[in-house]
Amino acid sequence: PLIAQNAELSGLITDPSGLAVPGAKVVVENPDTAAARTVSSNQQGEYSVPALLPGPHDITIEANGF
């Protein structure tokens, strides 16, 4: 039988006052393989990175003004 495992990372990006940060760049990189995925937060500051291989990941978030 075939067994597959995937992980998903999701979250909400807000500024120090609690307001959503739309358009923030989110980079998720596996340090073991150097594979990277890039997504952007939506108008509500939410982001989702589906179908990640289980294991450690480095996460970098960038936005204008931060």
Q: 3-28 pLDDT, tens per residue?
A: 768 889 999 999 999 999 999 999 99
Whole-number average pLDDT of the chain: 93
Residue 57 reports pLDDT greater than 80: yes
Query: Are 51 and 27 spatial neighbours (Cβ–Cβ below 8 Å)?
Result: no
Check residue 1 and give its pLDDT.
60
* Percentage with pLDDT > 70 across the chain: 95
At 54, is the pLDDT very low, low, confident or very high (cuts 50, 70, 90)?
confident
Strand duo 25-29 + 46-52: pairing: unpaired
Residue in this structure with the two tokens 């909400």, named with its chain if needed: 12
24: tokens are 């923030």
